[in-house]
Chains A and B, each alone.
Chain A
Amino acid sequence: KAGVTQTPRYLIKTRGQQVTLSCSPISGHRSVSWYQQTPGQGLQFLFEYFSETQRNKGNFPGRFSGRQFSNSRSEMNVSTLELGDSALYLCASSLVRLGGADTQYFGPGTRLTVL
């Protein structure tokens, strides 16, 4: 089974621009979560989508948004980019099994550099 895929793998943008990152979950997985990783803050949870609805949100400004499509693929968008948004953005998918402990599987990440 193919793993979680993220596109693009690398991206360079300038301040003030916006960016859209894409994540394709493992086949059959219905939940997609996004994380930001920076040297200073480590790995931080952004949000989670399940059945096209956001069901969890981390402590990030409204410039960070996301969505999930009916095929469970997800996109996240960052508007009005700031230098501090330079980070590795990670996507993780999980099956969502009620009554049992689920496992999240991570993609390779998208490295975003804001100049």
Chain B
Amino acid sequence: DAKTTQPPSMDCAEGRAANLPCNHSTISGNEYVYWYRQIHSQGPQYIIHGLKNNETNEMASLIITEDRKSSTLILPHATLRDTAVYYCIVRVVTLTSNTGKLIFGQGTTLQVKP
């Protein structure tokens, strides 16, 4: 699985958009980009995933560059409850294999400030 690089920490003002970058320059064609977050000592929470197209759901948007070497998670209107560690993970998915192994890095600690 490809390695990801994320900044260790970021701040964001409440109500503003939070843009969390992730670098995955060695990503291969069958690797998806997944984002999870973990709020202090709780289980990680799934946010969104994508292969090459931009994706949006009720929680966030995922923007993947055309060469797929980096991506950005966007929380459109950050609240204090969005303060958490955000993990960017790349994961191999093939037609015959969809394994449950996720490799977590250190993630980005997002601090949303009033």
Q: Which residues of A are interface residues toward B (Cβ below 8 A)?
A: 4, 31-33, 35, 42-45, 48, 50, 55-56, 58, 88, 90, 92, 94, 96-109, 111
Contacts and interface: CB of A to CB of B under 8 A. Distances in A.
Nearest to A55: B99
B30 to A, nearest CB: 10
Main SS at interface, chain B: loop
A102 B93 contact: yes
Contacts of B87: 43
Interface string B81-102: 0000001000101011011111
5 contacts: A43-B87, A92-B43, A92-B102, A98-B95, A104-B46
Given A98-B95, A99-B95, A105 B46 contact: yes
Contacts of A108: 42-43
A42 B104 contact: yes
B46 A98 contact: no
B51 A101 contact: yes
A4 B43 contact: yes
Interface string B57-95: 000000000000000000000000000000100010101
B interface, how many residues as a size bin?
20 to 34
Main SS at interface, chain A: strand
B41 A97 contact: no
B101 A45 contact: yes
Given A58-B101, A106-B45, 19 more contacts: A33-B101, A35-B104, A42-B105, A43-B44, A43-B104, A90-B44, A92-B44, A96-B98, A97-B98, A98-B95, A98-B96, A101-B32, A102-B93, A103-B49, A104-B102, A105-B46, A106-B43, A106-B46, A108-B42
